[in-house]
Amino acid sequence: MTANSATVKVGDKSVDLPVKAGSIGPSVIDIGKLYAQTGMFTFDPGFTSTASTESQITYIDGDEGVLLYRGYPIEQLAEHGDFLETCYLLLYGELPTASQKADFVYRVTRHTMVHEQMARFFQGFRRDAHPMSVMVASVGALAAFYHDSTDISDENQRMVASMRMIAKMPTLAAMAFKYSIGQPFVFPKNDLDYAANFLHMCFAVPCEEYKVNPVLARALDRIFILHADHEQNASTSTVRLAGSSGANPFACIAAGIACLWGPAHGGANEAALKMLGEIGTVDNIPKYIAKAKDKNDPFRLMGFGHRVYKNYDPRAKIMQKTTHDVLNELGVKDDPLLDVALELERIALHDDYFIEKKLYPNIDFYSGITLKAMGFPTSMFTVLFAVARTVGWIAQWKEMIEDPSQKIGRPRQLYTGAPRRDYLPSTNR
Ligand code: SDX
């Protein structure tokens, strides 16, 4: 029987707070009136026990290792669906019919070009700028080019901005990659699907025909599905908070990209591959396991652990299979990084420290090996994560904007600084 209220005792005062149940998963205690009734705030800096919003988009059961997009298991979507179908599902809440899918693909495809002056915008960067810095800047700059889809109160403008973001992220990402290697930008092609178009924009050169490998395109499409959304993670919460002030969607997505860049979040795929390279060989693993366990050593096993998953990240299992598909297709027989990754995972999953702390491989553990094999430099790994997560950020942003109870997010604090004191002239200090 689910409780329908919770009682908080503050001194000799008891305060009853309503409990709200979801369709599945934990119920919540609505503390909206707590401050008014007790003069106290709750305190949960990492939001480990805090639901920041109601949502109908993605559900995670961290103990069971379950991930549902609009109720559909990630395993089934990755196996049977494709990325643009998943985008439609996340945005509209239902799987599309054939005609709905065709119309959606048509609309996204015809937004893939960017304003030609964006090409000149890139000229201001150093060639060795990290592509994530270029993405934060160029996505934020889109608001300067697309004024006609920045009025968030207009439903049509919200949808146009959503289409533009989903469609233009691969183009901007490919431009950031081409710019970093000194090659000319490659325009999108309307006769290629989403992942194939991205591979073509990244790896085609004007001097010869580039044929997209369908196995790699399918693998990349699946990688995009796995990264599309993930409940109220740090970057999605950043997008929601930025959007709650009424900021335009391009600025909100730029804020999400900035947050995703952190090595504790989306930057972990780049950090995980660098870690595997630093470990180098299987016989070095015990030394790094010891470092990860040492409280005085800041080293962490990148690609391991998760705030929510206290079981194997369901995306990591699919990612590991995709890694094998890609390496087999490319004829990579013995990748030393994969050998280290597989042995590191085997050891960690049997080590008491990792078992007791419920640290399992997460999606970032295998993605780097796959993307490196596809020809992407490590600096592009988090960019690809951002390309895929854009639909999740946009879907969550739209849900927040369209929530009639939505208001600006403004958390409070526990103040432990100096109480009021009077100004001292410098001669008295
Ligand atoms: C993503 O939130 C999302 O949904 C994110 C994401 C998404 O799709 O949006 O899933 C994508 O960001 C995946 C996570 C990628 N990050 C990494 O792989 C970086 C390495 N992992 C850690 O930094 C850590 O596990 C976090 C940041 C992912 C989670 O950190 P928490 O929940 O704040 O947990 P914690 O840091 O408090 O760790 C709990 C304990 C600690 O020990 P104690 O202080 O309790 O003694 O586990 C230890 C940590 O020291 N620990 C690790 C570890 N991760 C946690 N020890 C060694 N290696 C690790 N990787």
Q: What is the Å distance from ligand 1's center to 306 Cα?
A: 5
Which are the catalytic amino acids? 306, 364
d(CA 367, CA 259): 19
Closest ligand 1 atom to Cα of 305: 25
pLDDT along the chain (429 residues), means of 10: 84 94 97 94 96 98 96 98 98 98 98 94 95 97 87 90 96 98 98 98 97 97 98 98 96 98 95 94 94 94 93 92 94 89 91 92 91 96 98 98 95 97 97
d(CA 53, CA 237): 10
Going by CA atoms, what residue is nearest to atom 26 of ligand 1?
Answer: 306
Confidence (pTM): 0.95
Q: How far, in Å, are 105, 261, 347, 397 from residue 383 at the CA level?
A: 22, 8, 30, 20
Running DSSP on this structure, what letter comes out for residue 331? T
Q: What is the Å distance from ligand 1's center to 46 Cα?
A: 12
Closest ligand 1 atom to Cα of 266: 12
Q: What is the Å distance from ligand 1's center to 303 Cα?
A: 8
pLDDT digits (tens, 9 = 90+) for 312-371: 899 999 999 999 999 999 998 888 998 999 999 999 889 999 999 999 999 999 999 999
Q: Ligand 1: residues within 6 Å at CB? A: 46, 230, 233, 264-266, 268, 292, 300-308, 357, 359, 362-364
Q: What phi, psi does 28 have (nearest 5°)?
A: -130, 150
**What would the two tokens of residue 403 be?**
């929530």
Going by CA atoms, what residue is nearest to atom 48 of ligand 1?
Answer: 357
Q: Considering only CA atoms, which of 339, 340, 336, 330 is closest in space to residue 375? A: 330
Helix then strand count (H, E) for the chain reads: 18, 6
pLDDT digits (tens, 9 = 90+) for 129-145: 999 999 999 999 999 98
The chain-wide mean pLDDT, for the chain, equals: 95
Going by CA atoms, what residue is nearest to atom 51 of ligand 1?
Answer: 305
